[in-house]
């Protein structure tokens, strides 16, 4: 069972480690030191729900309704293009820190709402949890499936809290105008690259 646990942990890590909307949001909250642990906890909880949902039945839903997968995939392309454009706008601003300061004026509940949107309105997360993790974990025996899900969930939880804490520790170096510009440029490029890759996959190139 330990090998199944490790398999779930490693596959989940492979899905979550690349920069994505969730990671970018958690990292930015950590840099601002604004509700970063709460946001990490909510992201981890959301991933627990999505991962378990995918492994214990959600994958079959997408398999039975290919049109739903089509909609989710192209929705992911649109979402990633929009998220990347927001990062580019911040990077191209005359003073990126002023843009970040306006973001920091948001209340706790607006930040939570933004995090929920980044997580639950991002169709790409359903491809990771339902299509990849769900299709592999769903084929396992019932007892093995639980260990696979536990490994995947633990990997996600450790990652989000680790990212939030590390970003907060490095905040004095990362929360500078040039650094913020560079971070947002990287995030924008990565978001658009993922969108292009997803679009090409949908077009069967």
Q: Which residues of the chain register pLDDT less than 50?
A: 97, 205
Residue 61 has a pLDDT of 67
Q: Could you give the C-alpha distances from 182 to 91, 116, 145, 196, in angstroms and in order?
A: 7, 25, 41, 21
Q: Return the pLDDT at 21.
A: 83
- Rounded to an integer, what distance in angstroms lies between the CA atom of residue 53 and that of residue 126? 10
Give the tens place of pLDDT for each residue, 120-154: 877 778 878 887 888 788 778 878 888 999 999 99
| pLDDT more than 70, % of the chain | 88
104-118 per-position pLDDT tens digit: 555 678 888 888 888
CA 175/CA 73 separation, integer angstroms: 34
Given this model, what pLDDT does residue 161 score? Answer: 96
Ordered by start, the domain boundaries in the chain are 2-14+31-202
pLDDT on residue 205: 47
């Amino acid at each position: 069972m330990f090998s199944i646990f490790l398999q779930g942990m490693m596959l989940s890590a492979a899905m979550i480690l690349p920069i994505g909307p969730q990671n970018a949001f958690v990292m930015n909250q950590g840099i601002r030191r604004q509700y970063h642990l709460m946001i990490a906890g909510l992201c981890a909880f959301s991933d627990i729900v999505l991962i378990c949902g995918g492994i214990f039945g959600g994958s079959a839903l997408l398999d039975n309704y290919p049109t739903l997968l089509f909609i989710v995939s192209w929705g992911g392309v649109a979402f990633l293009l929009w998220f990347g454009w927001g990062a580019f706008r911040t990077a191209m601003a005359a003073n990126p820190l002023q843009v970040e300061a306006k973001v920091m004026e948001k209340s706790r509940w607006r930040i939570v709402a933004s995090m929920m949107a980044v997580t639950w309105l991002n169709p790409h997360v359903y491809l990771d949890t339902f299509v990849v993790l769900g299709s592999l974990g769903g084929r396992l025996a019932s007892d093995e499936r639980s260990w696979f899900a536990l490994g995947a969930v633990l990997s996600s939880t450790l990652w989000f809290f680790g990212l939030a804490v590390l970003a907060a520790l490095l905040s004095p170096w990362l929360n500078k105008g040039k650094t913020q510009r560079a971070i947002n440029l990287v995030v924008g490029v990565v978001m658009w690259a993922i969108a292009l890759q997803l679009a090409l996959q949908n077009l069967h190139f």
